[in-house]
Amino acid sequence: MDVTTAMLADAADVLGGKLYVHGGGWDVVYASEVPATHAAMSIVLIFKLDWHEANEDIPLMIQVQDEDRHETLISGKAIMRAGIPPLAQKGDPLYHPFAQTFRGLQFPNYGRYTLTISSDDKELVRLPIVVSNPAALTTLTKT
């Protein structure tokens, strides 16, 4: 199993085997003060599975931690199960979209955080999240 696509989005859902993403591909949360509560954040993944992984329960562990991995903001488990699509031939790779939304995630401080997805103690993907003051953006754009 591999992850071919991984991103954060404002919203995402999987319907009928299709992935619907709104406001995807970001890694910075702007907050005028901390602690900051982010209204909604979706994890968007596309898995590439081997044929033998179809119709099996695949455990996923999802964590958001501070940069030093001392504080865990969220930690959750999910079970993924991918079927075999019609007309697939034995041995074909299987692509499976996955989306999970978290509401009201609270970031205690400015700085760097990491979202990690793993399965059976194997890290599959690590996404950075930076929590920054919007004033930092203004400072960077002045000439």
Q: Which amino acid is at 101?
A: T
Q: Choose among 71, 13, 70, 68: nearest CA to 40.
A: 13
Q: Choose among 98, 52, 93: nearest CA to 79.
A: 98
CATH of the domain at 40: 2.60.40.1930
Q: Provide the 3-class DSSP secondary structure of residue 1.
A: coil
Structure tokens belonging to residue 78:
């999910």
**The pTM is what?**
0.85
Task: Give the range of the structural domain holding residue 60, as residue numbers without chain letter.
Answer: 2-141
Q: What is the pLDDT of residues 37-94, one digit of tens each?
A: 999 999 999 999 999 999 999 999 999 999 888 889 999 999 999 998 888 899 999 9
Which pLDDT value is given to residue 142?
54
Total structural domains in the chain? 1
Q: Provide the 3-class DSSP secondary structure of residue 48.
A: strand
**Sign of the dihedral through C-alpha 86, 90, 92, 94:** positive
d(CA 2, CA 88) in angstroms, rounded, equals: 19
**Omega of the bond prior to 128 within 30 degrees of 0, cis?**
no
d(CA 101, CA 133) in angstroms, rounded, equals: 24
